[in-house]
């Protein structure tokens, strides 16, 4: 657990249960007890996968072309909101959908900005003006809770990908005596590319960028 905490020192909030009860952000690393408590909160968002290989040419730092076979693992995740029935009953399914896409698409925010914070809610409300009365009331009342639910789902997705899938893939590569300089992680949500590298040669420790 200590190694995992150190690996994710660039995002220490990920393993703090307090992340979901306060809008304050701390750069201090979580304690082992905090990390264990957050793992116990984890709910798997994983729904399936597909695997395929592609051949291509990549250029190194000196511009030299290198032929390489790449294994692609496509993981599928599914989000089911506990507010779905209520939103449909109140004729606000479009509001729930808008909040969902807003939260998922807002990558690149500062560490101390929470997707369920008042500032994010204010931006969401301003972005979707003019508001019909019923939809506006629903958004004001439920935005924070819906965003928090989505935020935890996104964090669970990151825990699955980086703490389980990437780590196990690397350990298998090392166990078979092969080499993997980088593992790339991206999603259909956006064009963000996460490059994961080992912190030490031939050691199954990763430093997500």
CA distance 6 to 206: 9
123 touches 148 (CB < 8 A): no
CA distance 106 to 143: 15
* Cα diameter, the chain: 63
Q: Which of 184, 164, 176 is nearest to 202 (CA)?
A: 176
- With respect to residue 131, please indicate whether it lies within any of the assigned structural domains: no
Number of structural domains (the chain) is 1
Q: Which residue has the tokens 């395929």?
A: 52
Query: Residue 39's pLDDT is what?
Result: 93
Query: Residue 191's pLDDT is what?
Result: 72
Question: Hey, what are 32's tokens?
Answer: 């082992």
Query: Residue 171's pLDDT is what?
Result: 81
Question: Hey, what are 105's tokens?
Answer: 């698409």
Does residue 164 sit in helix, strand or coil? helix
Question: Hey, what are 49's tokens?
Answer: 């996968």
Burial class (CB in 10 A: 0-12, 13-18, 19+), 68: exposed
Query: Residue 199's pLDDT is what?
Result: 64
Per-residue pLDDT of the chain (209 residues; tens, 9 = 90+): 787 888 788 788 889 999 898 877 888 899 999 999 999 999 999 999 999 998 988 888 888 998 888 888 999 999 999 999 999 999 999 999 999 999 988 776 777 778 898 989 999 999 999 999 999 999 999 999 999 999 999 999 999 998 888 888 888 887 887 777 788 888 877 777 788 877 655 444 444 44
Query: Residue 209's pLDDT is what?
Result: 42
- With respect to residue 168, please indicate whether it lies within any of the assigned structural domains: no
- With respect to residue 26, please indicate whether it lies within any of the assigned structural domains: yes
By residue range, what is the domain housing residue 67?
2-78+181-208
Query: Residue 100's pLDDT is what?
Result: 95
The number of C-alpha atoms within 13 Å of 3 and in the hemisphere containing its C-beta is 9
pTM of the shown model:
0.83
- With respect to residue 187, please indicate whether it lies within any of the assigned structural domains: yes
């Amino acid at each position: 657990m200590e190694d995992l905490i150190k690996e994710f020192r660039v995002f220490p909030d990920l393993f703090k249960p307090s992340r979901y009860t306060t809008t304050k952000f701390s750069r201090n690393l979580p304690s082992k007890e905090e990390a264990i408590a957050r793992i116990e909160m984890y709910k798997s968002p994983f729904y399936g996968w597909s695997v395929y290989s592609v051949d291509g040419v990549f250029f190194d730092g000196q511009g030299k072309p290198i032929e390489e076979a790449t294994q692609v693992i496509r993981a599928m995740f599914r989000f089911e909101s506990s507010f779905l029935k209520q939103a449909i009953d109140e004729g606000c399914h479009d509001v729930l959908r808008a909040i969902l896409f807003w939260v998922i698409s807002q990558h690149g925010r500062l560490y101390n900005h929470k997707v369920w914070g008042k500032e994010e809610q204010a931006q969401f409300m301003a972005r979707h003006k003019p508001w019909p009365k019923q939809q506006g009331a629903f958004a004001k009342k439920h935005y924070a809770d819906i965003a928090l639910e989505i935020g935890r789902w996104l964090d669970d997705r990151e825990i699955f990908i980086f703490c389980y899938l990437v780590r196990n893939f690397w350990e298998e590569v090392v166990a078979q005596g092969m080499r993997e300089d980088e593992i790339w992680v991206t999603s259909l949500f956006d064009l963000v590319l996460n490059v994961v590298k080992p912190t030490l040669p031939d050691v199954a420790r990763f430093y997500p960028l």
